[in-house]
Amino acid sequence: MNSFKKNLLKKRYNAERRFQWYGKIAIGLALSFLAVFMFQIFSKGYSAFQKTWIVTEVHYDKELLLIDAESPSKDDLENADYYDVAYKAMTSLDPGLPEEEDRQLIQMVSYKYEAEVKDLLLKNPDYLGKIVPIKLTASDDVDQVHKGNYPRDIPEENRRVNDYQLQIYDMLNERGDILSEFNISFFTSPDSREAELAGIASSFMGTVFSILVCLAFSFPVAVLAAIYLEEFAPKNKFTDFIEVNINNLAAVPSIVFGLLGLGVLLAVFNLPRSTPLVGGITLSLMTLPTIIIAARASLKAVPPSIREAALAMGASNMQTTMHHTVPLSMPGTLSGTIIGLAQALGETAPLILIGMVAFVNTIPGTPVDPAASLPVQIYIWSESAERGFVEKVSACIMVLLAFLILMNLAAQIVRHKFEKKWS
Amino acid sequence: MSKIKAENVNVYYGSKQALFDVSIDIAEKEVTALIGPSGCGKSTFLRCLNRMNDVIEICRVEGSIKMDNLELNSRKLDVVRLRENVGMVFQKPNPFPKTIYENVAYGPTIHGIAQSKEEMDQIVETSLKKAALWNEVKDRLDEIGTGLSGGQQQRLCIARAISVSPEVILMDEPCSALDPIATAQIEELIDDLKKEVTIVIVTHSMSQAARVSQKTGFFHLGKLIEFGPTDKIFKNPDNQQTQDYITGRFG
């Protein structure tokens, strides 16, 4: 081998090695972006799954509760006055505090503390007249202090937790009366203006209903359209035109569909505003082209020999399609549908336009109740000023991501498990 | 006895003409082989006999093809009924990705041939026996048909074709994807089947045509060059082109 050829060979090897390195660097870069993103979300969000409680003692004093009856009924307990009992439960933490300063102690728990005091007695009627320990939801500020997210060294006038409150907190913490437990209410409560009480139940249900409505509207329409276009429609300029338009539709920005939902569903058809019904129909406009394209692709992937076999057996076009082509294309269609729905799951803009951005503090029971959705909830919370919402945003993103991963996993499983292999 | 009589059949794919004035008489309960080089139009002609060319949108068929005096090349013809009577076996085995039983039972089901489960079982068994596959699959009828070997798959396709008791079976190079042993099995099967059905087979293998057929037609460039008894075509053809093709000088 002469030196010229040797050189050429060496160059070729080097070029290939360099190219592989470029590829590796590109993948490494992408993975590190993902890692940073994930780290950000997890490090900020994981604390939202912990809830801080303040433990104190409550005296269910019959006189303060204004209960006269000797053995009070459920109704008596229901209608009793809990204001004083609850107030005393908190102020007893520091008996020396002058009365005009008591707000400082009350502010350390959520505004719902009176209801919590009431609930405990309703659950345990025999506590009446006794002094019992009680767990009260800490305010979001105390919660953040306890989680170490709140800087204690900034000047007092810039702090939402003053020195006195910090002192009480430290005292309680030393006594072990600050509890940190798994935050069940994050999953079971609707949204709230107070970060310590806010949960994703309403937006989660809103998302579930929206996706179900979206599926119910888009799947049948898209599959029928795909079957007709692929198996029955004549191939001419008009059907080509339709195909181009469907492909274009898939690329239309989602906010345009939101405007359509606003202009048609709300203004013309007068459907209830802010509901998963409208949200789902709007999203179905978006998923429609995605499903049509996936369904057509998987119908195309059914080998023509199967169609010929059925036709040659004397099956009509309809029978060939329904008995053979469509069942064989279903795995591809379904996984395309799930991917379309996963896209719809993360959509925010169209939902904001049709009013699903409203503050909803009830859990929707049907698709026609007002609701938010998970991505919109993220948007709403990210606009809130309180420090307590920062971790909630990340936690909500984590729930949304888990939802997305589950759906994409389902799509993968459907595709691999049920798709027929053609030799 | 003539079963199918084609007269002046011209076939066009768009503006391209694929068959030129083909006229042929296919005799009942005989095997007719169609031979010729690739692209000569023999498969196109075969697909005219069960109107499979309908699937190809740009395909246009002119002329007259009569089966028992029924005009096949007519808009009014119900192709479903026609294909019930004219079965087809394709080049590549194409069983449905369903069970062996379902593969054979599909035709009788859609044409309402079996009245009861027992009758259907009977049809499936006879069809598989006629296709010489019964002994190999009788214990695994609920297995997927596509899991069989290539030769078995092709015999399953033949069983599927005969399940509706057609009068004619068209075979489009049925052995081209099979090994010699499977080919021999299929050829034996063709020999058996011709007692009951008329068979038209397209083949690239001249020895196969010589072995299984009674009549042979030689196609070249869309024209039927010569048609006659297989013995005569192979031993003493009238046409020089036929002679050249058979002796392997072109094609």
Cβ burial A270-307 (10 Å sphere, 16+ → b, else e) = ebeebbbbbbbbbbbbbbbbbbbbbbbebbeebbeebb
β-bridge mates for residue A140, sequence order: none
DSSP reduced 3-state for A178: strand
Mutate to test the interface with A, among B48, B88, B156 (most CBs of A within 10 A): B88
Task: Tell me the CATH architecture of domain A201-418.
Answer: Orthogonal Bundle (1.10)
Q: Give chain B's mean pLDDT.
A: 91
- Chain A residues whose beta carbon lies within 8 Å of the beta carbon of residue B92: 305
Residue A421 has pLDDT above 60, yes or no: no
Whether B94 contacts chain A with CB within 8 A = yes
Residues A313, B52: C-beta atoms closer than 8 Å: no
pLDDT classification of A25: cutoffs 50, 70, 90? very high
Residues B50, A312: C-beta atoms closer than 8 Å: yes
CB A164 within 8 A of CB A92: no
Percent of chain B with pLDDT over 90: 65
CB atoms within 10 A of CB B7: 14
Residues A314, B164: C-beta atoms closer than 8 Å: yes
**Per-residue model confidence as pLDDT tens digits over B75-113:** 888 999 999 999 999 999 999 999 999 999 999 999 998
Q: Which residues contact B86 (CB under 8 A, 6 or more apart)?
A: B49, B50, B67, B166, B167, B168, B169, B170
Cβ burial A207-242 (10 Å sphere, 16+ → b, else e) = bbbbbebbbebbbeebbebbbebbbeeeeeeeeeee
- Chain B residues whose beta carbon lies within 8 Å of the beta carbon of residue A314: 79-84, 107, 110-111, 164
CB B79 within 8 A of CB B71: no
Per-residue confidence (pLDDT) for residue B179, from 0 to 100: 86
pLDDT classification of A223: cutoffs 50, 70, 90? very high
Per-residue confidence (pLDDT) for residue A126, from 0 to 100: 85
Mutate to test the interface with A, among B110, B152, B156, B157 (most CBs of A within 10 A): B110
Residues B94, A309: C-beta atoms closer than 8 Å: yes
Per-residue confidence (pLDDT) for residue A415, from 0 to 100: 82
- Chain B residues whose beta carbon lies within 8 Å of the beta carbon of residue A313: 83, 87, 106-107, 110, 160-161, 164
Whether A318 contacts chain B with CB within 8 A = no
Task: Tell me the mean pLDDT in the region B180-197.
Answer: 90
Residues B80, A420: C-beta atoms closer than 8 Å: no
Whether B84 contacts chain A with CB within 8 A = yes
- Shortest CA gap A16–chain B (Å): 40
Considering all CA atoms of chain A, what is the largest pairwise distance in Å, rounded to the nearest integer? Answer: 113
Task: Tell me the mean pLDDT in the region A192-200.
Answer: 88
Nearest CA in chain A to B53: A308
**Per-residue model confidence as pLDDT tens digits over B189-209:** 899 899 999 999 999 888 899
Per-residue confidence (pLDDT) for residue A192, from 0 to 100: 87
How far apart, in whole angstroms, are the C-alpha atoms of residue A359 and residue B153?
63
Helix axes A201-227, A326-345, angle to 10 degrees: 140
Residue A100 has pLDDT above 70, yes or no: yes
pLDDT classification of A78: cutoffs 50, 70, 90? confident
Residue A220 has pLDDT above 70, yes or no: yes
Whether A237 contacts chain B with CB within 8 A = no
Percent of chain A with pLDDT over 90: 39
Nearest CA in chain B to A233: B57
Whether B58 contacts chain A with CB within 8 A = no
- Shortest CA gap A277–chain B (Å): 40
**Per-residue model confidence as pLDDT tens digits over A260-319:** 989 998 888 988 888 999 999 999 999 999 999 999 999 999 999 999 999 999 999 999
pLDDT classification of A423: cutoffs 50, 70, 90? very low
Whether A323 contacts chain B with CB within 8 A = yes
Task: Tell me the mean pLDDT in the region A79-90.
Answer: 86
Task: Tell me the mean pLDDT in the region A159-185.
Answer: 88
ipTM of this complex prediction, to 2 decimal places? 0.91
Going by C-alpha positions, the residue among B246, B90, B206 that lies closest to residue B158 is: B90
pLDDT classification of A420: cutoffs 50, 70, 90? low
Per-residue confidence (pLDDT) for residue A236, from 0 to 100: 87
Torsion of CA A324, A325, A330, A335, to 10 degrees: 150
**Per-residue model confidence as pLDDT tens digits over A310-322:** 999 999 999 999 9
- Chain B residues whose beta carbon lies within 8 Å of the beta carbon of residue A328: 97
Whether A317 contacts chain B with CB within 8 A = no
Task: Tell me the mean pLDDT in the region B7-27.
Answer: 92
Going by C-alpha positions, the residue among A73, A108, A76, A74 that lies closest to residue A91 is: A108
Per-residue confidence (pLDDT) for residue B202, from 0 to 100: 94
- Chain A residues whose beta carbon lies within 8 Å of the beta carbon of residue B164: 313-314
Structural domain spans, chain A: 48-183, 201-418
Whether B57 contacts chain A with CB within 8 A = yes
Task: Tell me the mean pLDDT in the region A340-367.
Answer: 87
Per-residue confidence (pLDDT) for residue A105, from 0 to 100: 85
Mutate to test the interface with A, among B79, B92, B94, B169 (most CBs of A within 10 A): B94
Residue A65 has pLDDT above 70, yes or no: yes
Whether A123 contacts chain B with CB within 8 A = no
How far apart, in whole angstroms, are the C-alpha atoms of residue A229 and residue A278?
28
- Chain A residues whose beta carbon lies within 8 Å of the beta carbon of residue B84: 314
**Per-residue model confidence as pLDDT tens digits over B33-80:** 999 998 888 999 999 999 998 888 889 999 999 999 889 988 888 999
Whether A326 contacts chain B with CB within 8 A = no
* Residue B200 CA neighbour count, 13 Å, CB half: 27
How far apart, in whole angstroms, are the C-alpha atoms of residue A105 and residue A92?
10
**Per-residue model confidence as pLDDT tens digits over B120-138:** 999 999 999 988 899 999 9
Amino acid at B238: D
Whether B107 contacts chain A with CB within 8 A = yes
- Chain A residues whose beta carbon lies within 8 Å of the beta carbon of residue B171: none
Considering only the beta carbons, identify the residue of B55, B57, B80 that sits closest to A314. B80
Q: What is the pTM of this model?
A: 0.83
Give the residue, A1 or B104, on which the prediction is more confident: B104
Q: Are strands A131-137 and A50-59 parallel, antiparallel or unpaired?
A: antiparallel
Residues B161, A312: C-beta atoms closer than 8 Å: yes
